[in-house]
A = this chain, B = another copy of it.
Amino acid sequence: MNEHACPLCEADGGLLVFRNHDLRIIQADEAGFPAFYRVVWNRHVAEFSDLSATERQICMHAVVKVEQVLRSELQPAKINLAALGNMVPHLHWHVIARFDWDSHFPAPVWSVPQRPVDEAQVAAVASQCLEINRLIAEKMAL
């Protein structure tokens, strides 16, 4: 896949939370996981090791900022980080707040569900995401 057929070259890929020259942070729209963010490298590269050492630091700095805000605001059971890209080979990092009540915990979000979605708990997390998005943007702008 080159940049001419790449959905992450054509669109932000979700609700835009922050953008700079190098990368953007979006809130994904994944059912049952409101606190599911992605750090998308703006340039079309497939692999993390396609970045220079400096670029990798910039990228992981953003991943860590998102992780820190999710931890401080949501106290999740675990943060999940992943750069897979098998379907869309344009570098993007998933940053996902996981909870012991979520539909898949402790399995990965890509695995089979462990239980039904708890709509009330999901809504409670979702209601915090506006403030989370504001905090991510604020910390990235520092």
Contact (Cβ within 8 A) A107 B80: no
Interface size on A, residues (CB 8 A): 32
A89 to B80 alpha-carbon distance, docked (Å):
10
A98 to B79 alpha-carbon distance, docked (Å):
23
Contact (Cβ within 8 A) A78 B89: yes
For residue A104, give the distance in angstroms from its CB to the closest CB of chain B.
Answer: 9
Question: Could you give, for residues 98-142 of chain A, a 1 whenever the CB lies within 8 Å of some chain B CB and a 0 otherwise?
Answer: 100000011110111000000000000000000000000000000
A76 to B110 alpha-carbon distance, docked (Å):
21
Contact (Cβ within 8 A) A82 B79: no
A106 to B110 alpha-carbon distance, docked (Å):
12
